[in-house]
Chain A
Amino acid sequence: MDFSSNVAAQLNAGTILPEGIVIVTLLLVLIVDLIGGRKVALALPYLAIAGLLVSVGLLVTSWSMADPIGFIGAFNGDNLSIIFRAIIALSTVVTILMSVRYVQQTGTSLAEFIAILLTATLGGMFLSAANELVMVFISLEMLSISSYLMTGYMKRDPRSNEAALKYLLIGASSSAIFLYGLSLLYGLSGGETQLVLIAEKLVNADTVGQSLGLAIALVFVIAGIAFKISAVPFHQWTPDVYEGSPTPVVAFLSVGSKAAGFAVAIRLLVTAFGGITDEWHVIFTALAVLSMVLGNVVALAQTSMKRMLAYSSIGQAGFVMIGLVAGSEDGYASMVFYMLIYLFMNLGAFSCIILFTLRTGSDQISDYAGLYHKDPLLTLGLSICLLSLGGIPPLAGFFGKIYIFWAGWQSGLYGLVLLGLVTSVVSIYYYIRVVKMMVVKEPQEMSEVIKNYPAIKWNLPGMRPLQVGIVATLVATSLAGILANPLFNLATDSVVSTKMLQTALQQTGETPAIAISHDLP
């Protein structure tokens, strides 16, 4: 058999079908915009949403595939990757819904914005399923470069320029460090790029001489990943970038990009660094403690809504890291479950603040005072999403947090869980402050902005998608709490049926998590 048919027989190209649909949608958006011009511009968001929904549908049908490994080991479409890819695609759907009006109102072109957003989605989806070092790096760069472009999309705004430049410089140096870590892995394993083979070589090798090299590789790789999930102390870019970027981009960065970061964290750490689980548990414990404390405490002092949500997203990432450190089946399942819920509540909150910004042109928390008297729907949506982010009982966020804390407690991370409880009480304070500002104020205490609140018009072009987005996320956030069982089963199932996690769990048992809990206060 000649070379090409030999390769073609092993490709198993059907594994990347959902991504293929996204690529086709991306090209269609660019070409239709090029040919159709201004007339079809309004239809493009719906085209993109349709493509993404088809992609999600294909992800659902490829659940528990018989042979998830595609492209000779470069791609692994196992169930864990499917659920993360679906989270990223759904976050893009909601982001497009909220960006239609926002982008039009700023006078920038919508087609290119959607195209760049779809590329970022594609990068995130491939990153969640990448099973090889080159693939990890290319998809990470794809996600990062499109994020830089979207951050600087408002060209004439100095805040947007500043945010893009900061993000680009810090991001480029962090990917350089990450690449150095990957190259060390390549060298230590004697020239392997597939994660599974690297793990085999590292386990068989003489570990005494290699431990320093492996530790440096681990630290460098974690530095790259922690930048993506904006864990303290790799978070310095987050507040400025969140404040200066267009708000739909911030929504995508805080959900889609972060989900991709967690997916690659699980895959790299569990497979390639499976031999030194204790070490990365210690590092992630430190990252989780710092993120929860700093994120939630600094959020208290913020006056701008976007900055507050930036710090709150750092704190939320800290909670998710508890699940990663727990290292048990429940730990990983709780991460997936929390990301699913976080998708709806955080995007809901962002849709609401976008609506407020579009109507009033303001982003200050104090300007929300008395909103209830003028716009009850917006008040209701924002209140429910913020209360859910804070973890108030009947809402979805409460169950997500309880599950993470329970998984952590089961693995013996008592200190970490107690700290998580204390910091989530702190977080409830700053979320409730906004809710109180909107609901409790008397009519005479209204802010100037609210006094001049424009009449509610849903029939402006691009307002309907935003309304659909708010209502859908609102329904999902309120129902996901009461009907959490299907989501919960989905999360558990994805972890139980993923081969990579099961082999790792059998090897390590659940002892290392208990061993490091003594380091905590």
Chain B
Amino acid sequence: MNLAEGVQYISFLILAFLVIGAALGVVLLSNIVYSAFLLGGVFLSISGIYILLNADFVAAAQVLVYVGAVSVLILFAIMLVNKREDFSKIPGRWLRNVSTALVCTGIFALLSTMVLITPWQINETGPFVENTLVTIGKHFFSDYLLPFELASVLLLMAMVGAIILARRDLIPELSEENKTATALTLPERPRELTSASK
């Protein structure tokens, strides 16, 4: 093992430890602010792993999108909701925790067995890509052209949908002669009202 491989190996170990440690923290800590910051840590460490894999563009996109946008958005949401609520103790909670842990360990064991016994077709001396941006761009405009363009329609609709959900609507006034109309609610009466009217 020469120096370069050694450095690579050590940095992989550090990054993997960071990813797993931070991810466990996200799930296990009860304070949601800590979880949100640790989630940012998970994203950052994963982008480090991408750099180790020679995927520099993906690493940069990971930092920009996940750390820069998603984590910050989550933190904003937590700040806006800023409300302390003490949840009542659920009896037999340890049973749920134990069963969840069992299921997770089982899935982990199954997947790691699968990863270990499968003869992956790894191309160790694959062509080294000099400029990943150009290669990705060429793929986007040749064999992945259709999904790439389709994503724009998807984003347009996500934007329209977000605006619809977030905008403040004028609640229409219900006229007297048209009693069946409703104000931004389903025309079907809720079940309690239906049973009460009998």
Contacts and interface: CB of A to CB of B under 8 A. Distances in A.
Interface of A: 3-4, 7, 11, 16, 23, 26, 30, 70-75, 102, 105-109, 112, 115-116, 119, 122-123, 126, 132, 134-135, 137-139, 141-142, 145-146, 149, 152-157, 159-160, 187-191, 205-206, 209-210, 212-213, 216, 244, 246-247, 304, 306, 357-364, 367, 448, 454
B151 interface: yes
Task: Determine the interface band of chain B, counting residues with CB < 8 A from chain A.
Answer: 35 or more
15 contacts: A70-B146, A71-B145, A105-B180, A107-B182, A116-B161, A137-B147, A138-B147, A145-B154, A154-B186, A157-B185, A159-B186, A190-B121, A304-B191, A357-B187, A361-B187
B185 A135 contact: no
Contact of A209 (B110, B118, B169, B197): B118
Interface of B: 110-111, 113-114, 117-121, 123, 138, 141-147, 150-151, 153-154, 157-158, 160-161, 164-165, 169, 171-172, 180-191, 194, 197-198
A116 B164 CA distance: 11
A206 B183 CA distance: 62
Contacts of B171: 107, 156
Contacts, number: 155
Given A105-B187, A145-B161, A359 B119 contact: no
Q: Top 8 A-B pairs ranked by shortest CB distance?
A: A190-B121, A157-B185, A149-B161, A107-B172, A363-B188, A156-B184, A71-B146, A119-B157
Nearest to B142: A7
B150 A152 contact: no
A149 B198 contact: no
Contact of B114 (A153, A160, A216): A216
Contacts of A357: 187-188
A116 B142 contact: no
A302 to B, nearest CB: 12
B143 A74 contact: yes
Contacts of A139: 150
Nearest to B179: A361
B4 to A, nearest CB: 25
A66 B157 CA distance: 34
Contacts of B123: 190
Contact of A210 (B119, B141, B143, B147): B119
Contact of B146 (A3, A135, A206, A210): A135
Nearest to A149: B161
A89 B185 CA distance: 27
Contact of B143 (A72, A116, A187): A72
A160 B185 contact: yes
Contacts of B117: 209, 212
B26 to A, nearest CB: 16
Contacts of A246: 186
Contacts of B164: 109, 112, 149, 153
Contact of A134 (B138, B147, B189): B147
A30 B118 CA distance: 50
Given A105-B182, A107-B183, A156-B171, A74 B145 contact: yes
A216 to B, nearest CB: 6
Contact of B185 (A141, A152, A156): A156
Contacts of A157: 184-186
Contact of B194 (A16, A107, A191, A364): A364
B138 A362 contact: no
